Every structure is written in C-alpha cells, then in structure tokens.
C-alpha cells in the first residue's frame, strides 16, 4: 500500500443491483470457489445475489426472481412461486450434477464450497437468514454437513442488509411465536462462521484497495444505495472507480 501522502481516494455509490453484480464478480474469483469449480463440488443456494454469482460462474443469464426462494418484495415477507422456482445449482468439477444439490451435499468434503446468501449482516460478521419453512429450508438441510465436514461456507451479502445485531434479531423471530406479519411469519438462522463477501471485500479483492462503508440510503432510484470510500495507490483507486462506473445501469431485480 502507498504511503499516506501518496494515497488516492474516491467515493463510490452503488445501488443494490450494482452491489449484487460487484459482489458476484468477487465471489466468482475467490480461490476456493475457482478450485471447487474446477476440481471439487460447488453448490449455489437460492437467492437473488446468488443468481448474479451463478451468472458470473457460468457466463449465462439467470432469472433472478425464479432463482430466489424467500423474498422481501412489495412491502411483504414472501416466497417466490414454487412451480416456476429454479432449484439450487450443483456443480461437480464444473459439470451440472443432475441428481440435485442435496445428493451432491452428501459427497461434500475438504475444499468443497456452499454459497448461501443472507437477509441480514452485523458488524461482527454474523449473517442472518430468514426462514419461511418450518423445517429451516436450505439452511436446515445443509448447515450440519458443511460444518461437520469443514467445507467452505461463503455468504455474499450487500451492505444494505446491515443490522445492529443478528443474534439479537433472531431471538425475536419465529414462525410459531409471531402473531402478526406483513406477509408470512419467519424465523431466522444465524450463520457465524461463513466467509462474508460484501462490497468492501469485493473492491479490496478485485482492485487491491482499502474500502469503507460511509453512508447508506438515497432517493430517486437510489433507495438502498451504499456509499463507499476507497483508498490506495492511483492504479487501484482508478480501477475501483472504473469498475463502479461499469456497473451503472444494472437492472433492478423484480418479478420476471
């Protein structure tokens, strides 16, 4: 890193869809993901950010809405239509594992990767996953195997989902103890050992800069935006700024 006098700085504003694309590009380049894609097993769980990850891995468009399961949309806690929902993609040495992700999970071992998005993130790196299923959904099926076998758990989560305390939030959730809800009642699982990839980790990995989250929110199309300060040498900062500019116009996720 450059000396303080040589540091260059930039401010970057990312809307949610732009953040998802940035995070996806970084996840796709992680060494453990590249290894699992070539030589091991890789499962990409449902979720809108994960749909972006899948596009970066496969180089093919993915319907973001259909790749989600639980969603917060239209001011409600909801789920996507089950009859058109896409199943999580499972890859073994880069090829589709047609038997399905649950069966591939049974084969998981050292070096294999499960990518799981989240609905909340706190400053300690804890990820919260809302649970619309009363048996825990994907988390309920995968967490024991991944944890027991020491496989990689990667969580792409945008900073728009930052909350004060994920564990405290989880203590106030629960399908059977919620009396009223905008949409469906949910529980929350807490993932405390995932490798979290936010916009900050993405910029640092892709551009060799340091990054800080300095503001959130906006209006007139920038609702949910995050403002990020980056520092580094001139080449790194310029690369980050150009990368940010290249993301402009990324379509917002909606019903497709």
pLDDT digits (tens, 9 = 90+) for 73-123: 999 999 999 999 999 999 999 999 999 999 999 999 999 999 999 999 999
pLDDT digits (tens, 9 = 90+) for 130-151: 999 999 999 999 999 999 999 9
Q: Do the domain assignments include residue 169?
A: yes
Residue 11's pLDDT is 98
Residue 227's pLDDT is 98
Q: Do the domain assignments include residue 252?
A: no
DSSP codes, 204-247: HHHH--EEEEEEE--STT-TT-EEEEEEE-HHHHHHHHHHHHHT
pLDDT digits (tens, 9 = 90+) for 14-67: 999 999 999 999 999 999 999 999 999 999 999 999 999 999 999 999 999 999
Q: Do the domain assignments include residue 251?
A: no
CATH number at 142 reads: 3.40.50
Give the total number of structural domains in the chain.
1
Q: What percentage of the chain carries pLDDT values higher than 90?
A: 97
Residue 3's pLDDT is 57
Query: DSSP state, 60?
Result: S
pLDDT digits (tens, 9 = 90+) for 166-197: 999 999 999 999 999 999 999 999 999 999 99
Q: Do the domain assignments include residue 14?
A: yes
Domain of residue 136, residue span: 4-246
Residue 193 structure tokens? 């050992």
Q: Do the domain assignments include residue 26?
A: yes
Q: Do the domain assignments include residue 198?
A: yes
Q: Do the domain assignments include residue 240?
A: yes
**Collapsing DSSP states into helix, strand and coil, what is residue 69?**
coil
Residue 2's pLDDT is 54
Residue 256's pLDDT is 80
Rounded to whole angstroms, how far apart are CA atoms 27 and 31? 9
Q: Do the domain assignments include residue 79?
A: yes
pLDDT digits (tens, 9 = 90+) for 210-243: 999 999 999 999 999 999 999 999 999 999 999 9
């Amino acid at each position: 890193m450059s000396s303080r006098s040589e540091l260059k700085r930039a401010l970057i504003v990312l809307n949610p869809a732009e953040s998802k694309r940035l995070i996806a590009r970084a996840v796709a380049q992680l060494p453990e993901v590249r290894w699992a894609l070539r030589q091991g097993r890789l499962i990409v769980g449902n979720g809108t950010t994960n749909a972006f990850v899948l596009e970066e891995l496969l180089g093919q468009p993915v319907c973001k809405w259909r790749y989600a399961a639980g969603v917060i949309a239209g001011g409600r806690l909801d789920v996507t239509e089950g009859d058109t929902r896409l199943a999580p993609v499972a890859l073994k040495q880069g090829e589709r594992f047609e038997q399905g992700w649950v069966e591939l999970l049974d084969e998981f071992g050292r070096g294999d990767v499960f990518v799981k998005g989240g609905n909340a993130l706190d400053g300690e790196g804890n990820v919260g996953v809302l649970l619309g299923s009363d048996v825990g959904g994907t988390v309920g099926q995968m967490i024991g195997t991944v944890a027991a076998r020491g496989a990689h758990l990667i969580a792409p989560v945008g900073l728009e989902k930052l909350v004060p305390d994920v564990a405290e939030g989880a203590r106030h959730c629960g399908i059977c103890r919620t009396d009223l809800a905008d949409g469906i009642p949910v529980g929350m699982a807490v993932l405390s050992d995932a490798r979290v990839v936010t916009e900050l980790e993405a910029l640092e990995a892709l551009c060799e800069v340091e990054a800080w989250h300095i503001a959130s929110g906006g209006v007139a199309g920038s609702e949910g935006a995050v403002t990020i300060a980056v520092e580094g040498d001139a080449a790194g900062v310029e690369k980050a700024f150009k990368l940010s500019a290249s993301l402009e116009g990324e379509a917002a996720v909606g019903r497709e």
